[in-house]
């Protein structure tokens, strides 16, 4: 591919100091292209362009329904280029092509959903007293920053950018240095719209350079970040110094809780899909399996047999699992597996898969670990790979206690035919989303998504996410 460029104020640009970063294909380990190594000067130009545009009369004249039509136009562009984008997303991240297509379809829906919402966010009138009219309006918050992770680049960009623009904000996107391909395409589509050129800006670079500068920039009015707890904490601290609100989605250690009265075939398939999607490199991955003790042997036999049928291989060959993103991520996963081998039992998987001519790529067998101590590092921390840890419980109370035993609270799956039992657990588990007899791993675009505890705060997706990108103004009018 040709070297990529940043998109700032309607222009395609290299970095100020001309530095570049290689972008590698996880399936082969080979370099596909390069991106500019954006730094402080580049981020500053993008933010100032977004601020100038936000304040401009040209942007104020764009009516809400017109913003909506433009977002529909971007959705149409994504749909028209669906095949190309799916291949780019799969090559960039390493996810199977089927999952690449699913991500493109989700991006289409985000732009459609928020395009339709652009002229439908209403204010309120408040009864105070006779002779006083009081009302509340929601105004755009200003320049919004969107720091996008490497595992779902087009989905996570689309869900926050579309909502922000729908509400009348201008945006600066910082894509992950590992996976910038589809973000660059989205910039191309915005370039073809009638929006003022500073509405959408895309900068590239390392997180500790471009990302850190964006997080701490004094002209940013809201930050949306998805990533690790450590980086999210740094982002939040930087934003706090400027008194700027933040939406954080920071990961999870999400459980699937399986009772003996479940539909076993559906539960097995749900548990498998929850951990192998994107090779387990998913914040909402179902990485813990809690099984009713009396049902363990029956369920695990079926589960392990299903794991052994899964295929691993290059993304565009559309196996069940693609590669791990890079050597750094692979080494981290293998450290957890090595720890688990000392503390517990690896029932299946846990070994590297090699492909001729692709020796620099990192493939891993999907892995099931049993008998891991509940307080083990591998049981408590996010592994971010296709590694499932198994635990057992005797009754509902123990299941609730185990589900709540980590610092995270993003997603929970409950598998039972007893609706009373399901509602009891749902009401007492600390989790931003609860799926009963399914596992949506974030679910549809309409469903609010975010976590309890160290999984972050605020919500993305759905109608509620629009409010992230507004500020409330109260107006009181006295009359005689």
Q: Which of 29, 51, 47 is nearest to 38 (CA)?
A: 47
pLDDT of residue 136: 97
User: Is it true that domain 255-442 has CATH number 3.40.309.10?
Assistant: yes
Distance (Å, whole) CA 252 – CA 267: 20
pLDDT of residue 22: 98
- Tell me the average pLDDT across 456-478: 97
pLDDT-derived band at 444, boundaries 50, 70, 90:
confident
Angle at CA of residue 70, ends 69 and 76, nearest 5°: 90
Residue 139 structure tokens: 């105004």
Residue 24 structure tokens: 């590698």
| Residue 420 and residue 461 in contact, taking contact as beta carbons nearer than 8 Å | no
The three-state secondary structure class of 360 is coil
pLDDT-derived band at 440, boundaries 50, 70, 90:
confident
User: How confident is the model over 26-70, as pLDDT tens digits?
Assistant: 999 999 999 999 999 999 999 999 999 999 999 999 999 999 999
User: How confident is the model over 271-309, as pLDDT tens digits?
Assistant: 999 999 999 999 999 999 999 999 999 999 999 999 999
Strand partners, 20: 36
pLDDT of residue 480: 83
| Residue 73 and residue 58 in contact, taking contact as beta carbons nearer than 8 Å | no
* pLDDT, the chain, mean: 97
pLDDT over 90 (residue 154): yes
pLDDT over 80 (residue 159): yes
Strand 411-415 vs strand 433-436: parallel, antiparallel, or unpaired?
A: parallel
> Which of the residues 249, 365, 382, 460 is marked catalytic?
249
Angle at CA of residue 238, ends 237 and 243, nearest 5°: 85
pLDDT of residue 441: 53
Q: Which of 200, 211, 201 is nearest to 238 (CA)?
A: 211
| Residue 362 and residue 373 in contact, taking contact as beta carbons nearer than 8 Å | no
Active site residue 89: no
- Could you tell me the sign of the dihedral formed by the alpha carbons of 45, 46, 52, 55, in that order? negative
Architecture in CATH for domain 6-250+457-476: 3-Layer(aba) Sandwich (3.40)
With a pLDDT cut of 90, the percent of the chain lying above it is: 98
pLDDT-derived band at 1, boundaries 50, 70, 90:
confident
Q: Which helix (H) or strand (E) holds 305?
A: helix 296-308
- Tell me the average pLDDT across 404-425: 97
Q: What's CA 262's distance to the chain center, in Å?
A: 29
With a pLDDT cut of 70, the percent of the chain lying above it is: 99
Q: Which of 123, 145, 103 is nearest to 445 (CA)?
A: 103
Helices (H), 81-222: 82-93, 97-117, 153-166, 181-191, 212-216
pLDDT of residue 477: 97
User: How confident is the model over 185-204, as pLDDT tens digits?
Assistant: 999 999 999 999 999 999 99
User: How confident is the model over 348-386, as pLDDT tens digits?
Assistant: 999 999 988 899 999 999 999 999 999 999 999 999 999
Strand 255-258 vs strand 411-415: parallel, antiparallel, or unpaired?
A: parallel
For 130, how many CA atoms within 13 A lie in the half-sphere containing its CB?
1
Count of Cβ atoms closer than 10 Å to residue 399 Cβ: 26
Q: Domains of the chain: which residue ranges?
A: 6-250+457-476, 255-442
pTM score of the predicted model:
0.96
Q: Which helix (H) or strand (E) holds 47?
A: helix 40-55
| Residue 417 and residue 263 in contact, taking contact as beta carbons nearer than 8 Å | yes
- Tell me the average pLDDT across 211-217: 97
| Residue 468 and residue 163 in contact, taking contact as beta carbons nearer than 8 Å | yes
pLDDT over 70 (residue 463): yes
Distance (Å, whole) CA 18 – CA 16: 6
Q: Which of 262, 263, 175, 189 is nearest to 227 (CA)?
A: 175
pLDDT of residue 442: 54
pLDDT of residue 443: 66
């Amino acid at each position: 591919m040709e070297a990529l460029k940043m998109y700032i104020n309607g222009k395609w640009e290299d970095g100020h100091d001309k530095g570049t970063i290689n972008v590698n294909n996880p399936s082969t380990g080979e370099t596909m292209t390069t991106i500019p190594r954006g730094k402080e000067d580049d981020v500053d130009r993008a933010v100032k362009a977004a601020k100038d545009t936000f304040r401009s009369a040209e942007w104020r004249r764009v009516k809400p329904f017109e913003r909506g039509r433009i977002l529909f136009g971007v959705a149409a562009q994504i749909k028209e280029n669906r095949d190309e984008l799916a291949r780019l997303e799969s090559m960039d991240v390493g996810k199977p092509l089927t999952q690449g297509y699913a991500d493109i379809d989700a991006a289409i829906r985000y732009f459609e959903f928020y395009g339709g919402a652009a002229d439908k966010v209403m204010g309120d009138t408040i009864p105070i007293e006779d002779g006083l009219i009081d009302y509340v309006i929601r105004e755009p918050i200003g320049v919004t920053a969107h720091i996008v992770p490497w595992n779902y680049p087009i989905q996570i960009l689309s869900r926050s950018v579309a909502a922000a623009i729908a509400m009348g904000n201008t945006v600066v996107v910082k894509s992950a240095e590992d996976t910038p391909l589809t973000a660059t395409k989205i910039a191309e589509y915005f370039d073809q719209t009638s929006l003022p050129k500073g509405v959408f800006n895309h900068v590239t670079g390392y997180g500790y350079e471009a990302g850190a500068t964006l997080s701490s920039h004094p002209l940013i009015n809201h930050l949306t970040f998805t990533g690790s707890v450590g980086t999210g904490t740094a982002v939040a601290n930087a934003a706090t110094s400027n008194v700027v609100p933040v939406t954080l989605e920071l990961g999870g250690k999400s459980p699937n809780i399986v009772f003996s009265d479940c539909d076993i075939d559906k539960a097995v398939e749900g548990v498998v899909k929850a951990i192998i999607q994107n090779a387990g490199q998913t914040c909402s991955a179902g990485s813990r399996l809690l099984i009713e003790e009396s049902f363990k042997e029956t369920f695990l036999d079926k589960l392990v047999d299903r794991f052994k049928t899964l295929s691993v291989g290059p993304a565009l060959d559309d196996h069940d699992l693609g590669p791990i993103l890079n050597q750094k991520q692979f080494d981290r996963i293998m450290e957890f597996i090595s720890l688990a081998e000392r503390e517990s039992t690896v029932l299946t998987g846990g070994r590297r898969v090699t492909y001729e001519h692709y020796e620099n790529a990192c493939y891993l067998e999907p892995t099931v670990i049993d008998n891991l101590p509940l307080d083990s590092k591998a049981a408590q921390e996010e592994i971010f790979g296709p590694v499932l840890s198994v635990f057992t419980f005797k009754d509902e109370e123990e299941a609730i206690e185990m589900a709540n035993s980590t610092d995270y609270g993003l997603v929970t799956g409950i598998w039972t035919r007893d609706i009373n039992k399901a509602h009891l657990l749902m009401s007492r588990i600390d989790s931003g989303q609860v799926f009963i007899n399914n596992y949506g791993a974030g679910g549809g675009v309409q469903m609010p998504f975010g976590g309890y505890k160290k999984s972050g705060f605020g919500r993305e997706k759905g109608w509620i996410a629009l409010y992230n990108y507004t500020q409330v103004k109260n107006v009181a009018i006295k009359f005689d």
